[in-house]
Amino acid sequence: MISAVMPTYARADLAFERGEGAYLFTSDGRRYLDFAAGIAVNSLGHSHPHLVKALEEQGRRLWHCANLYRIPAGERLAERLVAASFADTVFFTNSGAEALECGIKMVRKYHDDTGSPGRYKIITCRGAFHGRTLTTISAAGNEKYMKGFLPEVPGFVHVAFGNLNELRAAIDDETAAILVEPVQGEGGIRPADLEYLRALRTICDEFGLLLFLDEVQCGMGRTGKLFAHEWAGITPDIVASAKGIGGGFPLGACLATEKAAVGMTAGTHGSTYGGNPLAMAVGNAVMDILLEEGFFQEVDRVGRHLWRELAALCDRNPEVLEEVRGAGLMLGLKCRVPNTDFGLQARELGLLTVVAAENVVRILPPLIIKEAEVKEAVAILEQTCKAMAKAA
């Protein structure tokens, strides 16, 4: 008999009762060091006092009032995101997939409004993950997620990640934009070469395309800057953000330049819950922390320290681990043993991770971790390697 909760997840038999910083606790007293962070969502750890306070205070005042009216906290959050990024304007959503959907619609509307309604195709990269809606799984083109859901939504052309020749060859008179993750997460923690990102900007300018970046997982400080594309020194036209932007509260955002958003006028797009007062209160609280002086530098410093520790772990355990990859605190361990087995063993020893493609285990700790948590995690991973080597 089907379970009351639709069985679309192969859930672990774990139920967490509470969280504190980088740790999660089950009702029977087990403690886990959380280096999955809700798949890069709990950017400031669990039950961060500043976020809890903001949510409690807003909950006592106003939960929801619809976008038929002004929401001052949303206006403030949008202004802060604009001031800290390339963007001129922001549309708030409930999730990353909805932020992607907004950006995809924006691409088509831009070309329609600027005299090229026939330009609708978006070039995307194999290995990408853009969400779970029919449009976003079509954008990624991953057979694993498309199986059983065909036909796919038209308008997406898939090329190899990092291959500029294939990308250039895919451009035709109907091409409207290029959509890329600066760091592929689900695809196996694969950072784009910075020169590749710069070349994408050049190609978009050359052919009149919009550069649309998916920073749902790699944005909001995860790589040591507010957005990962900043490492390349480029200016995109559209960026989809979510996950860490709400620190665990459902919140997403589509950021854009004034040029790209020229067609997004009243009535062209909407969301019932996107930008509601509760989400905006938490989003502003997250920004309070992220924008503190030195926060991103600390993420970068701890991320580099973790990278060195994981690289040394790989060197000590070559029969189990092949390499470390990623950027900032968005790292991955490419395994020589099945990544699912490695992740299960680490969990048994008290460390939570999450698997990805290319036999990679994702290491996505909260952005607030210190060397003490890194030391504890690496010690557990060392035990994991020894157990896996012994079992092999």
Antiparallel, parallel or unpaired: β 23-26 and 31-34: antiparallel
Instruction: At 40, list the tokens.
Output: 């890069």
The pLDDT of residue 134 is 97
Would you say 27 is a known binding-site residue? no
Is 224 annotated among the ligand-binding residues? no
Residue 326 assigned to a binding site:
no
Q: How confident is the model at residue 392, as a pLDDT? A: 76
**Tokens for 191?**
């950072």
Contacts of 64 (CB under 8 A, 6+ apart): 273, 276, 277, 278
Going 84 to 87 to 92 to 97, the CA torsion angle's sign is negative
Give me the pLDDT at residue 142, please: 95
- Decide: 14 and 335 in contact? Cβ < 8 Å: no
Q: What is the pLDDT of residue 114?
A: 98
Q: Is 216 annotated as a binding residue?
A: yes
129 is in an annotated binding site: yes
Question: Going from the N-terminus, what domains does the chain have, and what CATH number goes with each?
Answer: 16-34+294-391 (3.90.1150.10), 49-291 (3.40.640.10)
Q: Is 97 annotated as a binding residue?
A: yes
226 close to 266: Cβ distance less than 8 angstroms: no
Residues 179 and 155: beta-carbon distance below 8 Å = no
List, for the chain, all residue ranges whose pLDDT scores fall below the cut of 70. Answer: none
Closest CA to 381 of 309, 322, 325, 330: 309
d(CA 265, CA 89): 12
Name residue, tokens 């959380």: 34
Helix and strand totals (H; E) in the chain: 12, 17
3-state DSSP assignment of residue 195: helix
pTM of structure: 0.97
Helix, coil or strand: residue 186: coil
Q: Is 130 exposed, middle or buried (0-12, 13-18, 19+ CB in 10 A)?
A: buried
3-state SS of 113-125? Answer: HCCCCCCCEEEEE
Nearest to 179 by CA among 148, 157, 206, 199: 157
CA distance linking residue 246 with residue 231, whole number of Å: 23
Of the candidates 260, 8, 228, 1, which has an alpha carbon nearest to the alpha carbon of residue 114?
260
| pLDDT tens string 117-153 | 999 999 999 999 999 999 999 999 999 999 999 999 9
CA nearest to 280, candidates 6, 78, 11: 78
| Range list of H helices, the chain | 37-40, 49-61, 72-84, 96-113, 134-140, 143-146, 164-170, 194-207, 277-290, 295-316, 339-348, 371-391
